[in-house]
Amino acid sequence: MTIATALPALLVGGTETTSKSTEITVTAAQVEELGKELDALRARIADDLGERDRDYLYSVIKAQRGLEVAGRGLMYLGFLPPAWIAAVAALSVSKILDNMEIGHNVMHGQYDWMREKGINSREFEWDTVCPADQWKHSHNYMHHTYTNIVDMDRDVGYGILRMAPEQKWNPYYLGNLAWASALMVLFEWGVMLHDLEAENIVSGKRKWKDIKPLVKGMWRKAGRQVLKDYVVFPALTGPLFLTTLAGNATANLVRNVWTFSIIFCGHFPSGTQTFSKEETANETRGEWYLRQLLGSANIEGSKYFHIMSGNLSHQIEHHLFPDLPASRYPEMSAEVRALCEKHGLPYNTGGFWHQFGSTWKKIAKLSLPNRWTNQEPELVVHIERAAAKAS
């Protein structure tokens, strides 16, 4: 950053704030100290990784596989409503664990240090329609490099939603709530199509030759997933084909809604910040950390809630340390919060329903032009720089 950011700007000394803003002032030296403290925390956890983390991952994989076997097996009793419900529940949890606590985290490289075949970011493939290599580009690279930078981080709106007041409004966004609801229900398909940059195809910025390799990869992966969930496994249950088909579709729906909800609650509730390309140019390590802090939010919950979220309920820590095992985020969160308090910085956290309601309120508000809505008070983090010495 130059530095000037945070809804609407992380202000450089001497720049005026708006009358509705709440200003927090930190010095440039504080920001760099924060960066060093977070680097030290990261190094300490990285040095401590070992058998405990390996055992944890394998315990989750074992539970996920056991639930999938149980769910598939119970589908053979799908003519009994209680058995069908139990089958769907087991399969839903299995798919959530595969997507969140295993797939997302393994593909982030969080367990590459184990150097184990199949459980690393280069080889792992998850149980969803999006090819792993395409997700790693759109998520690991684009999102985590350009977190919350409007027009660079395509996770801000996923190319179909208006999720920041800086995004230019047009009548299409009147459907913001409808588009968000559709994305929630079909989330794995939205994630699959994400790397195509559909809005750029519509505008003519991307041509068929640009997306042809992506489409081929999507066709192969989605084809296998559809065949598995909607043809092969239903066919294996013979006369229960339709009940098994419905069960598999329901499990995928549950996984989609849950994943969407956790991700959106970690990125878009009230208080999360967006940034511009100009404001984030030439940012220092400390300023990069600060952007992650201001652009993320946590969700409070139980131990099992965090496991089911892939520990993305600790979205702040995930954005700060995306390549560290997510199971370490709960213990790291106390130190990160203490550092925020030390430097007078916000630490956005709240219960699931609070963050969920806040997120959908924002989706609704941003469906309208800025001038039609009451804007929330802005949080402005003001970086006070020392005056240059006279030569």
Residue 200 · residue 178 · CB < 8 Å = no
CA distance 379 to 356: 20
Q: Sign of the CA dihedral 383, 386, 387, 388?
A: negative
**Rounded Cα gap, residues 348 and 335, in angstroms:** 14
Bridge partners, residue 26, by sequence: 383
| CA gap 289, 374 in Å, rounded | 30
Interatomic CA distance for residues 90 and 86, integer angstroms: 6
pTM of the model: 0.90
Q: Going residue by residue through the chain (391 aa), what tens digit of pLDDT does each one get?
A: 434 333 333 433 333 333 355 778 888 899 999 999 999 999 999 999 999 999 999 999 999 999 999 999 999 999 999 999 999 999 999 999 999 999 999 999 999 999 999 999 999 999 999 999 999 999 999 999 999 998 889 889 888 999 999 899 999 999 999 999 999 999 999 999 988 887 778 777 888 888 899 999 999 999 999 999 999 999 999 999 999 999 999 999 999 999 999 999 999 999 898 888 888 888 899 999 999 999 999 999 999 999 999 999 999 999 999 999 999 999 999 999 999 999 999 999 999 999 999 999 999 999 999 988 876 666 777 677 654 444 3
CA atoms within 13 A on the CB side of 116: 9
Residue with tokens 């588009």, as numbered in its chain: 179
Could you tell me if 316 and 269 are in contact, meaning their C-beta atoms sit under 8 angstroms apart? Answer: no
